[in-house]
Amino acid sequence: MVKFTSREIRDIIISMLVIALVFAFAFSNKNLTLTISLFPITLIAVGLGFVLHELSHKLVAIKYGFWAEYRLWVEGLILALVTSYFGFVFAAPGAVYIHGEYIDKEQNGKISLAGPVTNIILALIFLALIPYVQGSLILSAITQLGFAINSFLAFFNLIPFAILDGAKIFRWNPLIWVIAILIAGSMTFYSMTGGL
């Protein structure tokens, strides 16, 4: 059964709001008025991707019988705020902490893969919606940003660096890691080169 502590709910909400804010600030080119205007858009496009990414880790961990809880990382939120001032965002607001008797490489790999796969699926949903919302400036911005950011979040999290999902997936199954990072990388490249 999936349970959320009050601390976990608080941490998720704070992380989601800060991440949406720093992306809005980075996209606004430090214009506070534009940041406020972009905030609802980034809350849906980025906040949704962040929350579902973390919840997918939690759900897969619980499926394997482990205890899992999201915890905010204050230093990561500060880092996101600082980097947004320079026009990019290093987003590491927190993580799902997993505890159990023994988590083998395959279980850890699958738990880790759940987050980036969730972002890939979200990105594809946003991409599929783009042609249907062309008449609305706001919905077009949400879908295009949703595709770009979720593609990037998947790609970034698949980098095989110690604390990121990619390292755990690579240790479990390098072939699955290659497939996932190629998909996320292609989608990120497509969004960055004006394919939309």
Active site residues: 54
72 sits in which H/E element: strand 67-72
Q: Are 110 and 60 in contact (CB under 8 A)?
A: yes
Distance CA 73, CA 81 (A): 13
Distance CA 139, CA 57 (A): 28
- In 3D space, the residue among 87, 84, 83, 114 whose CA is nearest the CA of residue 98 turns out to be 114
Q: Which DSSP state fits 161?
A: -
State how far the alpha carbon of 66 is from the alpha carbons of 1, 146, 160, in Å: 11, 31, 24
Q: Is the dihedral of CA 166, 172, 178, 179 positive or negative?
A: negative
Instruction: Give every CB contact of residue 60 below 8 A, 6+ residues apart in sequence.
Output: 110, 111, 114
Q: Which residue has the tokens 């969730």?
A: 118
